[in-house]
């Protein structure tokens, strides 16, 4: 009988520990960092950014046809609508993914007008990216503070006229 009571007490203590560790407020007490991001097309031609998934989520095998997940189209000289993001770590400490591309996007294609010129990046599944991206800039799948310009409370990822003019053929 004493053993049964001991087991019940141990079970109650263990259960209360599990319930306490499942507190919905646990880990959400901050600090939180709030940001507003936007993309700006500073070129004189339309800009299109397409996010793709090129690998099967379950197996990692390359898909026969890439799956288009998200598109941002901006006319010349335009800025996208600001996207609000809440992070548990400051942007200075970790790179982030631009909102809309976080849904299993592993590749991006950026094109300027109808020129057939632009930039692309592919996730190699080993934590590194390959492709032809803008020299010295993080991609929209992996950017941080140096890639952004503050503009009235919004952190802007700009695409410039020089980047459009110097973009490689795709």
Q: Domain limits of the chain?
A: 29-165
DSSP H stretches of helix in the chain? 2-21, 161-165
What gap in Å lies between CA 19 and CA 44, rounded to an integer? 58
The whole-number pLDDT of residue 125 equals: 59
Predicted TM-score of the model (pTM): 0.77
Classify strands 118-123 and 129-132 as parallel, antiparallel or unpaired.
antiparallel
**Structure tokens that stand for 42 in this block:** 């500073």
The whole-number pLDDT of residue 28 equals: 58
Q: Which residue has the tokens 């982030």?
A: 96
What gap in Å lies between CA 49 and CA 133, rounded to an integer? 13
What gap in Å lies between CA 25 and CA 93, rounded to an integer? 24
* Chunked mean pLDDT (size 10), the chain, 170 residues: 44 42 53 93 97 90 93 97 90 84 89 93 68 86 89 94 94
């Amino acid at each position: 009988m004493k053993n049964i009571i001991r087991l019940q007490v141990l079970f109650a203590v263990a259960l209360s520990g599990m319930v306490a560790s499942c507190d919905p407020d646990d880990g959400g007490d901050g600090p939180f960092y709030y940001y507003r991001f936007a993309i700006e097309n500073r070129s004189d031609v339309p800009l299109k950014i397409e996010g793709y998934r090129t690998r099967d989520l379950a197996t990692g095998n390359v898909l026969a046809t890439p799956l288009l997940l998200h598109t941002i189209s901006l006319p010349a000289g335009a800025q996208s609508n600001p996207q609000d993001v809440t992070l548990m770590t400051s942007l200075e400490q970790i790179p982030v993914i631009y909102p809309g591309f976080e849904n299993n996007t592993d590749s991006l294609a950026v094109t300027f007008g109808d020129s057939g010129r632009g930039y692309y990046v592919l996730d190699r599944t080993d934590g590194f990216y390959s492709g032809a991206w803008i020299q010295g800039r993080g991609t929209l799948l992996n950017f941080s503070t140096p890639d952004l310009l503050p503009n009235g409370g919004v952190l802007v990822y700009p695409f410039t006229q020089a980047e459009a003019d110097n973009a490689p053929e795709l």
